[in-house]
Amino acid sequence: MARNRVLRPPPSGNVKAKRAINETKLLRAELQKAMLIIESLWEMLREKHGLTDDDLYKKIYEIDMRDGTLDGKNQRKAVECPDCGHMVAPRHPACIYCGRVIDNSLFTLV
Ligand SMILES: [Zn+2]
């Protein structure tokens, strides 16, 4: 027997738009905080270890090219699981079919 539940109407387009705006503001604030931390870490490396901006550009290029494409991203593309052959989307650090760890990078976005 089906339960009688109070159904809420689906959110209107205006409510969805406000949620999206708030989410964007939150992401922007988190990005600004992350950029501040990165800049601080980079300045400490320059000052304490003598690295240069050219060293940083070379490392960025090296990491960007690890997937074979110079696109300003370091996130991997979908790959075939070496154990079971299923395709593993970049958002999954491990194969969802067999559990084989595909990407254990600390810098993978999920
Ligand atoms: Zn697999």
Q: How far apart are the first and last CA of the chain?
A: 40
Mean pLDDT, range 63-74, rounded to an integer: 85
108 C-alpha to ligand 1 centroid (Å): 19
17 C-alpha to ligand 1 centroid (Å): 38
69 C-alpha to ligand 1 centroid (Å): 25
**Smallest Cα–Cα separation from 99: which of 86, 67, 109?**
86
Tokens at 20, concatenated: 């999206």
60 C-alpha to ligand 1 centroid (Å): 30
109 C-alpha to ligand 1 centroid (Å): 20
pTM over the 0.75 mark = no
Domain residue limits, the chain: 13-71
Q: What is the pLDDT of residues 26-44, one digit of tens each?
A: 999 999 999 999 999 999 9
77 C-alpha to ligand 1 centroid (Å): 16
Q: What is the pLDDT of residue 109?
A: 67
Handedness of CA 109, 93, 20, 17 (dihedral sign): positive
